Amino acid sequence: MSLRLSLLGLLGVFLLVALWQAVVSLADLPRFILPGPLLVLEALWVNRELIAGHSLVTLAEVLMGMVLGAALGFATAVSLAYSPTARNLVRPVLVFSQAVPVFALAPILTLWLGYGLLSKVAMAVLIIYFPVTSSFFDGLMRTPRGFLDLAGTMGASRGRQLLLVRIPSAMPSLASGLRLGAVYAPIGAVIGEWVGASKGLGYLMLLANGRVKIDLMFAALLVLGLMAVLLYVMVDRLGHWMRHDA
């Protein structure tokens, strides 16, 4: 089944590329509007060292943001599940925070944290934090009642029930939150680079657009998409391991 899904995925990508080339050819679009896939691949090869350097910067921002955001989300969800007081105090703040577009915070974070790595990592953390917290908290609160009753009968305290029963049972929910974070993390990093940066794929895309090098911009976008897909696959594999281990 996995091989079949992989083949179907490759077929979908091939059809998408063929459609892209057909639109460019039939509409006779100029390369500064929509370059064909071959021009994008050529730009990717010619500028491979430039793109690789900027890709490493963005990848570092994304990975750091994922680690910090996941750790903060994990700790917050556990605190909310353990303490009713924390739920009453913190949950309304979390919900309200989602009413403020995270993208609108990018200029403020850049102003506070500067144009370097820190502001981009902070953007990635903010985007990852809520999905991880929300998914993991839901999993912690949906622990089967029979598991908790059995643990209570055996004399386990609330803390030990949380550590030995509720957290392992909620691991699939944590994996779901991490998968969402893997998709959203590159968005946060790139938006931070758009607001202000001197390195990264987002900066390279703006630079290429300003110089009307649309093929280079598409090449950077292609690398960003591949980065997000690979990150998702890695996190998905981690999720399968967490599910089986739990």
Q: What angle do CA 89, 94, 99 make, to 5 degrees?
A: 135
Check: pTM over 0.85? Answer yes or no. Answer: yes
For residues 208-214, average pLDDT = 91
- Domain check: are 139 and 24 in the same one? no
Residues 146 and 106 reside in one and the same domain: yes
Same structural domain, 158 and 48? yes
Query: What is the span of the domain harbouring residue 131?
Result: 35-245
Provide the number of structural domains found in the chain. 2
Q: What band does 46 get if pLDDT is binned at 50, 70 and 90?
A: very high
The string of pLDDT tens digits covering residues 78-126 is: 999 988 888 888 888 787 777 777 778 888 888 888 888 899 999 999 8
Question: In Å, what is the CA distance from 6 to each residue of 10, 18, 107, 174, 231?
Answer: 6, 18, 40, 25, 16
Q: 223: domain CATH number?
A: 1.10.3720.10
**Are 18 and 42 in the same domain?**
no
Give me the mean pLDDT over the 149-178 stretch. Answer: 85
CA angle 10, 15, 17 (to 5 degrees): 95
What is the CA angle 133-183-4, rounded to 5? Answer: 120
Q: What integer pLDDT is reported at residue 1 of this predicted model?
A: 44
Clarify whether residues 192 and 101 are in a common domain.
yes
Pair (60, 81) in one structural domain: yes
If asked whether residues 132 and 166 sit together in one domain, one would say yes
CA-CA-CA-CA torsion for 112, 185, 180, 214, nearest 10 degrees?
130
**Amino acid (one-letter) located at 116:** G
Cα(227)–Cα(80) distance, integer angstroms: 33
Taking alpha carbons only, the member of 218, 206, 223, 202 closest to residue 24 is 218
Claim to verify: residue 112 and residue 14 sit in the same structural domain: no
Between CA 243 and CA 246 the distance in angstroms is: 5
**Does residue 3 carry a pLDDT above 70?**
no
pLDDT band at 53 (very low <50, low <70, confident <90, very high): very high
Q: Does one domain contain both 48 and 120?
A: yes
Dist CA 237 CA 180 (whole Å): 14
Note whether 113 and 193 are same-domain residues.
yes
Q: What is the pLDDT of residue 107?
A: 87
Are 103 and 58 part of one and the same domain?
Answer: yes
Of 131 and 244, more confident = 131
Q: Are residues 23 and 42 in the same domain?
A: no
pLDDT of 223 over the 80 cut: yes
| More confident call, 30 vs 201 | 201
d(CA 245, CA 70): 19
Residue 237 to residue 57: CA distance in whole angstroms: 24
